[in-house]
Structure 1
Amino acid sequence: MIILCWLEKHFEEAICCIALSIIAVAVMSQVLARYVFEIALHWTEETAAICMVWAVYMGASLCVRERFHIRILVAVQALPMRVGRYAIYMADLAWAAFSVLMIRVSWEYLSVLWSFPSRSPSLGINEFYPQTILVIGYGLMLARLLQTYVRWYRDGAKGLPGMLLEDGDVPPDEEHLF
């Protein structure tokens, strides 16, 4: 149970840290091999590229969970509460729809990769496995978006979904958000 709670809170950070550490090791290995030993390592570029993609998708999911993604909250906060909530709802609904679309398209792409396997040039691994990040990433983004709304509703649906009130702040009134 403790492990599941930890994973729920830190899964994306753990994957990002692992991926970024692998990138750092791969790049430093290439630099060391090239300039000290005067040889080229062929696996480092591909490893770093795969890990970068994984880090980006996990970072996007983390941003959804923490609500750090791009928004123009100043404009939304200047609106009346109902209009601001409606704008957030519509933006999140469009985002959820896009995530569902990308999960479907990615799933079809992965089914093609599974049916017609190809190997990566340097590492020689099946391209299917690193490409699973597409379904995993968009699935996590969608799950974290839904989780935001479940928590917001469970906590009384005050303010905007996923936006924590600062200590000592009073919930916004019905006229304006702040």
Structure 2
Amino acid sequence: MPLIHWLDRHFEEAICCFCLSLVATCVFLQVIMRYVFHTALQWSEEVAAMGMVWAVYMGAALCVRERFHIRIMAGVLLFPPRVARSIIILADLLWAMFCIFMLVISFEYLSVLAQFTSRTPRLGIDEFYPQSILVIGYGLILLRLLQIYIEWARSGWAGLPGMRPEHQIDIETGLEK
């Protein structure tokens, strides 16, 4: 269980750190090669672009897990507590529906890539593999969103879904706990 707990807590962070380190290394190497050795690496731009896309999707899942994603909580909390809760639930439901829609589209896209293989220009790897981040990313975002609501249900539906304890409000009084 410790490995599962560690993965649940740090999976996105580890992938983001690796991908961003890869991007920084590729860009740094390219600068050195161009300005010091007056030549260019053929593969570094492609690797950096793939790393950045993977980092973005993993970062999005991380933001869902930590509830750092785009949401104007200051505005939502201006509403009465029950209305604020309803707005958050509605927004999360719409977001989950969007993720499901994107998962369907992404599966269709990957099935086309699997059927009609295409290779990246410089590395020559099958496009299916770097493009699989679409399914992985949206699937992980949806999983993290579901985890938030499972935890909220376990807490007895107290406060607002996914809000950290220091940011929770009492739904009855509207005051911070």
Fold shared by both chains (TM-score > 0.5): yes
Greater shift in the superposed pair: 94-103 or 36-45: 36-45
State the identity %.
60
Indicate the residue corresponding to 1:126 in structure 2.
126
Counterparts of 1:51 and 1:16, CA distance in 2: 9
Q: How does 1:82-161 map to 2 (within 5 A)?
A: 82-161=82-161
1:3-152 alignment, distance < 5 Å: 3-152=3-152
CA offset digits 1:131-153 (Å, max 9, x no partner): 00000000000000000010111
Shift of 1:66: 0.4
Q: Distance in 1 between matches of 2:171 and 2:8?
A: 32
Shift in alpha-carbon separation, 1:128–1:175, aligned structure 2, 3 A: same
Cα distance, 1:176 vs structure 2:
2.4
The TM-score, its normalising length taken from structure 2, stands at 0.95
Check whether the contact 2:160–2:169 (CA below 8 A) recurs between aligned residues.
no
What is the deviation of 1:102? 0.1
Gaps of 5+ in 2: none
Report the CA distance between 1:71 and its aligned residue.
1.0
Counterpart contact for 1:77–1:177, Cα < 8 Å: no
Per-residue CA distance 1:46-75 (angstroms, 9 max, x = gap): 000000000000000000000001112112
Q: Which amino acid aligns with 2:51?
A: C
The DSSP-based 3-state class of the residue aligned with 2:77 is: helix
Aligned residues: 176
Whose relative contact order is higher, 1 or 2, with alpha carbons under 8 Å and at least 6 apart? 1
Q: Which runs of 5+ in 1 are unaligned?
A: none
Question: Is the 1:26–1:47 Cα contact (8 Å) retained in structure 2?
Answer: yes
Q: Flag as ranges the 4+ runs of structure 1 deviating above 2 A.
A: 175-178
8 Å contact 1:79–1:176 — kept in the other structure? Answer: no
Tell me the amino acid that sits aligned with residue 176 of structure 1: G
RMSD of aligned residue pairs (Cα, Å): 1.4
Contact 1:12 1:62 in 2 (8 A): yes
Partner of 1:176: 174
